[in-house]
Structure formats: structure tokens, C-alpha cells
Amino acid sequence: FPVVPEKEEEDMQFAKKYLENFYDFKEEKNSLFKAKNLNRMADKIREMQSFFGLEVTGELNHKTLDMMKQPRCGIPDVRS
Amino acid sequence: YSTFPQSPRWKKEDVTYGILNYTPDMLQADVEEAIAKAFQLWSSVTPLRFTRLYSGQADIMISFAAGFHGDFYSFDGPGGTLAHAYPPSSGIGGDAHFDEDENWTKFTTYNGYNLFLVAAHELGHSLGLGHSNVFGALMYPIYMARDTKDYRLPQDDIDGIQALYGATPSKTPTRPEDCDPHLTFDAITTLRGEILFFKGSYVWRKSPYFSDIEHDTISSFWPSLASGFDAAYEVDKKDRVIFFKDDQYWAVSGYSIEPGFPKPIQNLGFPTSVRKIDAAVHDQNTKKTYFFVGNKYWSYNENTQSMERGYPRKIAADFQGIDHTVDAALQKNGHFYFFHGSNQYEVDIKNKKLIRIMKSNSWFNC
């Protein structure tokens, strides 16, 4: 079934927080950069999928979200 | 494996750790054992040696906290982030924080996180390792419940930590030969009918049920007491063995360390001038325990749990023929055995007279 929009938004926020914590994702706060943010977030999703050996799609699919929800260590996987 | 940027590492082999507080989810002794075993994992494959400090600031400080806990990385409640640790450096460097909102356990069940496994991972960070993307590696970021009995460090983690610190020195200190005529002991005690002989991190185990002497490391019985003892004695009626190291003592019953230990030896009645004891032996008949320090000895009444009046006394004044310090002491077969260097002195308990002198390892059927 199509995902309920609020759930989708919730997952997006969760993923953004995860990528900020563990993949050094920095979101431009200015809404003018929305497209740029989405591209940057897709890059970070690709980086995370590659780290965990998932299919690298850049999309926040079910498997990727599942992996993000696993209990884990609080130290980033990559760092600047 | 990976390391942190610029690969920070401890510039020494002797690293200290302290436990700031405990989780209410587990017995303190189980927390200490899990932490000690986690350190052993790393010391077994590197030249690193870890010593626990019971007060003051250690290199690696371990604590449990929930939510915001004073650093920039607040915990997030149950699940999600379980713990984090900082790479080697001064101050917060090396410290490991565990999320108290998790359920910590010494088992590998599904309604809690195994503290030994999570601590072993976090201490990898405390020593300078980053995350590994090798599935199954200890430094893999995601928690994986696995059997912790005889848990062995995966090769990727060994490669990572040895890239930072090198391998175990080729000449690991080896146990002296049983029949080495110069063999000496740190401490000796009976335990449930057996006799345990301690030296460094090793223990020789003589059992009335088997003819051979068994060889073990102390850590295989009491992981958090791995570095060895100055003295030990058994109060058999209480199924209790007391171990001494420097100015502290522990009570154990079998493999379990009783809660609330270690305690300062001053609790037994020693003056603060006594910073360690050489040997101890309990006389099961009189319920008195003798403590040997230098050329003097104390008598402790196990019933009243207090030192007897009129002590300390000179050893030589009461035990004829024992004109030197005592490294270790044992009561067996109605005699005392006082060990000094590679000799032992068999003493009649009643009249405290010397009967004969033997080699310290005469118990090993040499």
C-alpha cells in the first residue's frame, strides 16, 4: 500500500537525524536549497548503503530504514 | 577496520581504567567482570596492559547515564544509540558512556544488551579504533547478540588494533615450570578441598581428586582480579576465600566476588601504615587468621571480626625457626606451611615449632 504521507515525513526526519549523527550530513537550513539538500541527503544515503553492503540506490527504501533503526553504537561511521 | 582521523592512540602500554558508577540492571560484580573481560579481549592481542583504579582519574573512565549527560552527544532513550566512547586523549578522551535507558545484562538474551559485547566494542573506540564495515566484526556499528562464552576477537578487529599497537610481545611471560627449584609463590590458599598456588597472573591447582596439577590463569576464574594477589586465605566454614592486593581485599565464594568489594584492609583493623600484607592463613581449629607483614604478624578473630589485642608480634618470637618474612602461608594436614622464597617451612600448629624445611613446590610431585 502507499505509505501514509505523515509516516513518510516521519521516516524522512528520522533518516535525516541518523545521517547527521553518523554520516556527517549537514542540511542547509535555508529553504532555497531544498533541491540541493535532497541531492546531498541522497549522497549520504548512498554512503550509508555502501557502508552496510545494501543496494546503493540513494533512496530511503524499507531495507535502508530498517538498518537505520537497529540498536547501535553512538560513534559516527564516517567523519570529516 | 578504521581508526579516527590522525589515528590517535595511547602512547604507553599501561593504561588505567575506572568505573564511575553502575547500572541497577546488573550486580556490581557482574558489571566489573564484563568490563574486565572486555579489556582482556584487547590486551590478549596487543602489548597493552589494563589496570583498574578504584579512585581518582583513570585514562578510561566508564559510566552509565541517560539522555543529556554532560557531553555533546545526548542519549536517546531505549534502543537506538546504546553507548559511545571517545578516542585516546586527555580529559574525556578514552571515556566510555553507556545509555542507562537500555536494559543491560550479562546474558545474551533478546530483552537486553550484553554489557560485555557493548563494552568490548566501546573500548575499541577508547583505544583508537573507528567502525568496521565487516559484518560480524566487533567494531561493526550495529549491535549483534552472540554467544559470549569463549568469545574470540574477529580477525578484522585484531588487524585494526595491532595496526595501532602491534601484536602481543613475542615473549609473553610464561608460567614457570612446576619443578623449577627456584619457584616462589605470591599467595597460597585452600579452596573447597583443593590448594591454589598463585604467582603473577597464574594459578596452579592441586586437587585431591586428580593426581595432576592443573594450570590456569587467574582471569579464567576471576576476570576482574586477573593481575594477581599478595595473599589469600579460606574460611572454609563460610565457603569464603579472601584475596589481598596492595591495600585492598576481596571476598569470593567460588567464582563469584561478593558485592561491595574491594574494601580497604584498614577495615580489618590494620593501621594506615600497613599498605599491603605479605601472607595470610586461617586456623580452622581456633577460628583465628594470622596476617604476616614484614617481620611481624597479627591475629584476627573471625568470630568477632576483629584484630586480637597485643598484636602485632614478632614472627620469630612465636614461630621458632621462622626468622624471615613470609611470602605465602597455608594450613593443611594439621600443619602450617610458611613459604619464603623457594623454601617452605612446616610448622606444628599447636606448639608453633618448626618440623622441617622443603622446597616450595614439593606439592607438585616433583
Give the separation between CA A60 and CA A53, rounded to whole angstroms. Answer: 15
pLDDT of residue B130: 97
Q: Which residues contact B33 (CB under 8 A, 6 or more apart)?
A: B106, B223, B224, B257
Chain B residues with CB under 8 Å of A51 CB are 133
DSSP 8-state symbol, B303: T
- For residue B258, what is the DSSP state? P
Q: Which three cell numbers stand for residue B108?
A: 545474551
CA B46/CA B14 separation, integer angstroms:
11
Amino acid at B165: Y
C-alpha separations of A31 from A36, A37, B365 in Å: 10, 9, 84
Instruction: Among B75, B84, B118, select the one facing A75 at the smallest CB separation.
Output: B84
Stretch B209-218: mean pLDDT: 87
Number of C-alpha atoms within 13 angstroms, CB side, residue B168? 11
Grid coordinates belonging to A78? 564516517
Partners of B344 in beta bridges: B339, B358
Chain A CB within 8 Å of residue B69 CB: no
Annotate B319-354 with DSSP letters as a single string.
Answer: SBT--S--SEEEEETTEEEEEETTEEEEEETTT-BE
Say what the pLDDT of residue B224 is: 80
Strand, coil or helix: B263: strand
Whether residue B78 lies within 8 A of chain A, CB to CB, comes out as: no
- Distance CA(B225)–CA(B229), nearest Å, equals 8
Which of the residues B74, B105, B142 would you substitute to probe the A interface, choosing the one with the greatest number of A C-beta atoms within 10 Å? Answer: B142
Q: Which range, of B6-15, B205-214, B284-293, averages the lowest pLDDT? A: B205-214
B142 touches chain A (CB under 8 A): yes
| pLDDT at position B146 | 85
Question: B210: pLDDT confidence band, cut at 50, 70 and 90?
Answer: confident
Across the interface, whether the CB atoms of B142 and A72 are under 8 A apart is answered yes
Widest Cα–Cα separation across chain A = 39
* A17 neighbourhood in chain B, CB within 8 Å: none
DSSP result, A27-45 = ---SGGGHHHHHHHHHHHH
Do residue B133 and residue A52 have CB atoms under 8 angstroms apart? yes
For residue B290, give the amino acid letter.
Y
Query: DSSP assignment, residue B308?
Result: P
B254: left (phi over 0), alpha (psi -120 to 50) or beta: left
Judge whether residue A1 has pLDDT over 70. no
Give B230-253 as a 3 state SS string. Answer: CEEEEEHHHCEEEEEECCEEEEEE
- Across the interface, of A53, A67, A71, the residue whose CB is closest to B80 is A71
Question: With an 8 Å Cβ cutoff, are B85 and A75 in contact?
Answer: yes
How far is the C-alpha of B220 from the C-alpha of B187, rounded, in Å? Answer: 17
Catalytic sites of B, residue numbers: 122
B131/A75 touch (CB, cutoff 8 Å), yes or no? yes
**DSSP β-bridge partners for residue B292:** B279, B297
- Distance between CA atoms of residues B351 and B63, nearest Å: 53
Q: In a mutagenesis test of the A interface, which of B7, B63, B81, B117 is the best target, namely the one with the most A β-carbons within 10 Å?
A: B81
pLDDT tens figures, B163-201: 999 988 665 557 888 999 999 999 999 999 999 999 998
CA distance B167 to chain A (A): 25
pLDDT attached to residue B252: 93
CA distance, residue B48 to nearest chain A CA (Å): 23
Residues of A with Cβ-Cβ distance to B113 under 8 angstroms: 71
**Residue B225 pLDDT:** 83
Chain A: residue whose CA lies nearest to B129: A75
Are residues B83 and A73, on separate chains, in Cβ contact within 8 Å?
yes
- The amino acid sitting at A26 is K
Residues 6+ apart with CB under 8 A from B103: B25, B78, B111, B112, B113
Q: Which residues contact B38 (CB under 8 A, 6 or more apart)?
A: B116, B119, B120, B123
Q: What is the mean pLDDT of chain B?
A: 93
What pLDDT, in 10s, does the model give residues B68-113?
A: 999 999 999 999 999 999 999 999 999 999 999 999 999 877 779 9
- C-alpha torsion sign, points B228, B37, B240, B254: negative
Nearest CB partner across the interface for A74, out of B73, B113, B130: B73
Plot region of B221 (φ>0 → left; ψ -120 to 50 → alpha; else → beta)? alpha
* pLDDT for A38: 78
Q: What is the pLDDT of residues A19-47, one digit of tens each?
A: 999 999 988 777 666 777 778 899 999 99
B 97-116 → A contacts, CB under 8 A: 102, 113
By C-alpha distance, which of B228, B224, B175, B231 is closest to B201?
B228
Of A51, A53, A72, the CB nearest to B81: A72
ipTM of the complex: 0.89
Q: Would the CB atoms of A79 and B84 count as touching at under 8 Å? A: no
Q: Which of A73, A76, A79 has the CB atom closest to B121's CB atom?
A: A73
**Residues B11-22: b if buried by 16+ CB within 10 A, e if exposed:** eeeebbbbbeeb
pLDDT (0 to 100) of residue A31: 66
Residue A41 pairs in a beta bridge with: none
* Cβ within 8 Å, pair B82-A74: yes
- Three-class secondary structure of residue B255 per DSSP: coil
